[in-house]
Amino acid sequence: MRIATWNINSVTARLDRLVEWLETAQPDVVALQELKCTTDAFPLMPIQAAGYEAVAHGNGRWNGVAILSRVGLEDVTLDLTDQPPFDDVVETRAIGATCGGVRVWSLYVPNGREPSHPHYSYKLEWFKALESTARAEMAADPNLPYALIGDFNVAPEDSDVWDISLFADSTHVTPAERAALADLRATGLSDVMPRALKGEPYTFWDYRNGAFHRGWGMRIDLVYANEAFASRVSDAFVDREARKGKGASDHAPVVVDLTD
C-alpha cells in the first residue's frame, strides 16, 4: 500500500498537477492539506475520474483537509475531539478515515505565526487536542495500523531546517512546539521517515529568494505512526519532482510504502 501526504496549497489552483501526480505516483491513499476551498467546492468529479473516493473538510479559509483513497473510505471523522477554536471558529484542519484497514488522519496543524501571537497559543492547544484524540483512538483498537500524517508546521530537529541559526525567534522550532511533538510521540507513535527516508529530507521551501533551488528547506510534513503501521514501512521519500516547475505548491508530497 502506498500512502502519501501533500500540502497542495489550493486544490483548485493545482488540480491538474494533482490529477497528473495521482496517475504517475499511483498512491493508494492521499492526505491533502490547505485546500483553500469549501467542502462543496472541492473538485470531486476529476478525482473520482482518476479512480479515487474522496472526503473533504473545508470552509474556504486558509486551511481545509481531505483524504483520497482507492482502497476504501470508512469511519470518516471530521475535526479532533474537543478541537479548540480560533477567533470563535473551529477551523477545518483535521479529518480521519479508515482506508484498506489503515486508520489515517490528514492534519494541517496551525502555523502559530510568531511566539507572541495568540495563534501560537492556539497551536499548542490544538496539539493537546490531537494528542488526546490519538491516544483514545489507539486505545480503542491497539492492533489497527494508525498514522497521523500532514503538515505539522514543526521541524522536529535542528537538522530538519536548512539553517537553524536563522530561526532563533521564529515558530516551527521553539521548545514548546517540539515538546508538543514529543508528547504526541509518547502516545505510542514514531516518526517513520528517518527509518526509511532516502535523500534530502526537506518537504517545504518558501517561494521567495529561490529557496527551492538553493536547498533552503524545512521538514515539516510528517508521518507519525504506531508500531502496527511503522513495522510495515518498506520505503519513504519526498517527491521533489512535484515541487518543480511553474505553479507548484511550496510543499512536496511525502510518500510511504507499506508491505502487505
Segments making up each domain of the chain, as ranges: 2-258
What per-residue confidence (pLDDT) applies to 198? 53
Q: What is the pLDDT of residue 195?
A: 47
pLDDT at 76 over 90: yes
**Whole-number Å distance between alpha carbons of 165 and 167:** 6
**CATH for the stretch 2-258:** 3.60.10.10
* SS3 at position 29: strand
CA 211 from centroid of its chain's CA atoms? 21
Confidence of residue 193 (pLDDT cuts 50, 70, 90): confident
pLDDT for the residue numbered 201: 83
| DSSP label at residue 199 | S
**Lowest-confidence region among 8-12, 31-35, 243-247:** 243-247
Answer with the residue of higher pLDDT: 200 or 80: 80
49-81: b (≥16 Cβ within 10 Å) or e:
ebebbbbbbbbeeebbbbbbbbbebeeebebbe
Does the predicted model carry a pTM greater than 0.85? yes
For 216-231, the pLDDT digits (tens) are 999 999 999 999 999 9
Closest CA to 200 of 214, 190, 188, 182: 214
Check: CB of residue 55 under 8 Å from CB of residue 85: no
